[in-house]
Structure 1
Amino acid sequence: MSDHAFATRAIHAGQEFDPTTGAIIPPIYQTSTFVQDGIGGLRNGYEYNRAANPTRSSLETQLAALEGGAAALSFASGLAAEDALLRGLLKPGDHVLLGNDVYGGTYRLLTRVLAPWGIETTTVELADTDALRASIRPQTKIVWLETPSNPLLKIVDIEQLTEIAHAAGAVVVVDNTFASPALQQPLALGADLVVHSTTKYLGGHSDVLGGAVVFGDDRFFEQVKFQQFAVGAVSAPLDAWLTTRGIKTLALRMRQHSENAQAIAEWAQSRPEIEKVFFPGLASHPGHDIAGRQMSGFGGMLSLGLTDGPAAARAFAESTELFQLAESLGGVESLIGYPSEMTHASVRGTPLAVPENVVRLSVGIEDAADLIADLDQGLARLSR
């Protein structure tokens, strides 16, 4: 399957038809356990749903194929995937170098859940190679980055960062949720592992919660697989099936998300109510050239800094109609959020605090003209 184009892999990897009936869609194995042919006589390795399930196995095959990885594991949520990865690779006394603009839940997991266990975390501007080198310690086990980042859409040169991190003996983990594997392939650029909130673009329809870890090779698979089995935060069969169904249209959806976001970003540049547009598809974005090299499209996420400050940002977030006020992202419908008090409330008062005049848009696949008209009327309400 590796020799096929991305759109083909998204539809066919791990999706063999049912040999019993010929059903083109593999069935949902909604079962908690599997009958054994004598003690220890497992059929294809299946014994208990927490250990493995055929529906989850199909999704994991699909995920590995999408990212060009050696293997993948599917979890109940993105944070469950991150937790299993971190606990699998780290021990007390280890250090994690984290980008200074990341999902608030990742920062909370590291600084409030794993810190008492003895894990140290430093945040740094990862695009600044001098700051990156200066922040790496002998104890640095993982360099963790998001590119594009959440919610300020910062871009990091994955290949360059990987060379620096590997020279220091650190493992590189890329959260590829914002780009999705349809637009960016971190493993091909040298990263060791990729994580996803599959709730977002991979599922794509705002109807399922999930997460994933994809492995560039087999070095860390057993460590993370043990955490998955021992702790048990696995994706349920129906959730795995819904994610698989969503992935089959990922290539098409990402093209439309990207096209719509580009149109909105270009429109927003001309609006006096907006002082800054955070979107790597604009030539004015400091990471535009790097994003153009390592991504095949600029994605469907963008953020806007409102000229009149926090009050205007809050009012704008509550004034749109097609853009619905909600957390999450990556669905076919457009969403708007106020990160400072929503998705990133956990980092308020920290170095990762989001500017209070910023709103975040998850641009859906509706008609772009309708979306721009909705944002336009939202801005018009600010002057009333």
Structure 2
Amino acid sequence: MTQSKPSGLQPRTLAAQALGWEEPETHGVVTPIHVATTYIRDPDNQYRNGFVYGRPDNQTVKQAEAVLAMLEEGKEAMVLGSGMSAATAVIMALPAGAHIIAPTIMYWALRNWLMNDAPTYGYTTSFVDTADLAAVKAAVQPGKTKLIWLETPSNPLWTLADIAAISEIAHAAGAICAVDSTVATPVFTRPLTLGADIVMHAATKYLNGHSDVVAGALVTREANDFWAKVRRVRSMHGQILGPFEAFLLMRGMRTLHVRAEAQAKAALSLAEKLKAHPLVADVLYPGLTTHPQHALAVRQMQGGFSGMLSIRVKAGEQAAVSTAARVAVWKRATSLGGVESLIEHRASIEGAGSPCPTDLLRLSVGIEAVDDLYADIDRALRGAND
């Protein structure tokens, strides 16, 4: 049940109230978790209520998808069992023999999959610097390139790709442009409004925001034939999200704007402080005016620059590892986007072949007091250099 709402409400209002849904029996402000795995047929064997079986059909899942589609200004959304499920569902909907263009610097697990697993399905990938429009255009293989995959800001160097310009390159080649916008979130960037065809999120991160759900999400600009193929991949490969996880994801999205804005504000403050730190060689954060792509960030990211940044430790790899070992407030853990701040030495996590600099620490800024976070990493940096 949904109450009628005044027109013209802002996305943060609609998200906070989960589009106005109520529990129909008690009128509770939180809807129940729908756990049914099968549904009653009509007497003539039809399913006029639209629900057939629990794998592709679940009301809790559909409610989370409706909120997400609204946030991204898309036509339809689908949630999946993980960010990797979401990304690979798009790729596996491509025709056999398709060529893909992807960033040199990107989420390491998907990069690894594209390098080692995608070829077994007949796909080839060219990895390019997607901050370089000429390089992207040069990588297009006429008649073969079917997907340009972007990640912006890209993990963990936080370089940007010009979504509007690269979408035009993709479309001129008859390809799809898909954007991993996990870090930007729909609060700061809405790729579909810039020309992209599909936006992807590792919903485990900012959309959920509480480090207690593994989920992925896709939103499309058009409900076209390719989208139908992606939906079929999700269904036939069982890449579903359970109703309880969808319920928790919905809970997270209701506070997304508050969290994302607070985290971006804190990240900018930390970036400015750490930029002046005597033991830090560089701070990678597009919100800094000194960032080489700051102008693009201002144009493409409205209202904030995310809660992610990286620092390069002046004394090198061992000092970086030692800094991460000495923190007390920051948590040494993989992932990002939660309310708790995380620190990680990415090169050692990614292993051999990682393009990540060995002196780099990735920081996911939570909602703690900025002064506490800065004091903690300052103490750790100085201790690592004693």
TM-score by length of 2: 0.95
Residue 378 (structure 1) shift: 0.7
Aligned-partner Cα distance in 2 for 1:53–1:290: 40
Verify the 8 A CA contact 1:258 1:298 in the aligned structure 2: yes
For residue 293 of structure 1, the aligned residue among 293, 299, 302 is 299
For residue 257 of structure 1, the aligned residue among 236, 241, 263 is 263
Q: Which residue of 2 aligns with 1:213?
A: 218
Q: Which residue of 2 aligns with 1:324?
A: 331
Aligned-partner Cα distance in 2 for 1:15–1:32: 25
Aligned-partner Cα distance in 2 for 1:313–1:383: 10
The answer to whether residue 348 in structure 2 is matched with residue 341 in structure 1 is yes
Give 3-state SS (helix, strand or coil) of 1:182's partner.
helix
The answer to whether residue 9 in structure 2 is matched with residue 7 in structure 1 is no
One-letter code of the match for 1:295? M
Give every structure 1 segment of 4 or more consecutive aligned residues whose post-TM-superposition deviation is greater than 6 Å.
none
Moved more, 38-47 or 173-182: 38-47
After superposition, residues 2-41 of structure 1 pair within 5 angstroms as: 3-38=8-43, 40-41=45-46
Q: Which residue of 1 aligns with 2:120?
A: 116
Give 3-state SS (helix, strand or coil) of 2:187's partner.
coil
For residue 61 of structure 1, the aligned residue among 62, 66, 72 is 66
Tell me the alpha carbon deviations over residues 29-69 of structure 1, each in whole angstroms, 9 at most, x when there is no partner. Answer: 12222222336332521121102100000001111000000
Aligned-partner Cα distance in 1 for 2:237–2:133: 37
Aligned-partner Cα distance in 2 for 1:32–1:14: 25
Give the percent of matched residue pairs that are identical in Structure 1 and Structure 2. Answer: 39
1:40–1:105 CA distance, 2 compared to 1 (3 A): farther
How many residues end up aligned between the 2 structures? Answer: 378
The answer to whether residue 251 in structure 2 is matched with residue 245 in structure 1 is yes
Q: Which residue of 1 aligns with 2:192?
A: 187
RMSD: 1.4
Q: Which residue of 1 aligns with 2:81?
A: 76
After superposition, residues 349-364 of structure 1 pair within 5 angstroms as: 349=353, 353-364=355-366
Verify the 8 A CA contact 2:18 2:254 in the aligned structure 1: no
One-letter code of the match for 1:126? T
Aligned-partner Cα distance in 1 for 2:322–2:385: 11
Give 3-state SS (helix, strand or coil) of 1:96's partner.
strand
Aligned-partner Cα distance in 1 for 2:119–2:44: 42
1:15–1:340 CA distance, 2 compared to 1 (3 A): farther
Tell me the alpha carbon deviations over residues 69-124 of structure 1, each in whole angstroms, 9 at most, x when there is no partner. Answer: 00001001000111111111x12321100011100111122122211111000111
Q: Which residue of 2 aligns with 1:230?
A: 236
Q: Which residue of 1 aligns with 2:309?
A: 302
1:20–1:330 CA distance, 2 compared to 1 (3 A): same
Residue 341 (structure 1) shift: 2.1
Aligned-partner Cα distance in 2 for 1:41–1:375: 61
Aligned-partner Cα distance in 2 for 1:313–1:91: 44
Tell me the alpha carbon deviations over residues 313-340 of structure 1, each in whole angstroms, 9 at most, x when there is no partner. Answer: 1111111111100000000000001111
For residue 197 of structure 1, the aligned residue among 202, 216, 224 is 202
The answer to whether residue 138 in structure 2 is matched with residue 134 in structure 1 is yes
Aligned-partner Cα distance in 2 for 1:151–1:33: 42
Verify the 8 A CA contact 1:322 1:374 in the aligned structure 2: yes
For residue 375 of structure 2, the aligned residue among 373, 376, 381 is 373
Aligned-partner Cα distance in 2 for 1:9–1:170: 33
Verify the 8 A CA contact 2:279 2:382 in the aligned structure 1: no
Residue 259 (structure 1) shift: 0.8
Tell me the alpha carbon deviations over residues 164-221 of structure 1, each in whole angstroms, 9 at most, x when there is no partner. Answer: 2212222100000001001111000000000001000000000111001100111222
Verify the 8 A CA contact 1:260 1:368 in the aligned structure 2: yes
Give 3-state SS (helix, strand or coil) of 2:26's partner.
coil
Unaligned segments of structure 1, at least 5 residues: none
The answer to whether residue 280 in structure 2 is matched with residue 274 in structure 1 is yes
Moved more, 142-151 or 29-38: 29-38
Residue 246 (structure 1) shift: 0.5
1:83–1:14 CA distance, 2 compared to 1 (3 A): farther
Give 3-state SS (helix, strand or coil) of 1:181's partner.
helix
Give 3-state SS (helix, strand or coil) of 2:9's partner.
coil
One-letter code of the match for 2:128? V
Give 3-state SS (helix, strand or coil) of 2:328's partner.
coil
Unaligned segments of structure 2, at least 5 residues: none
Aligned-partner Cα distance in 2 for 1:206–1:13: 20
Residue 15 (structure 1) shift: 4.7
Q: Which residue of 2 aligns with 1:87?
A: 92
TM-score by length of 1: 0.95
Give 3-state SS (helix, strand or coil) of 1:45's partner.
coil
Give 3-state SS (helix, strand or coil) of 2:102's partner.
strand
Aligned-partner Cα distance in 2 for 1:25–1:39: 34
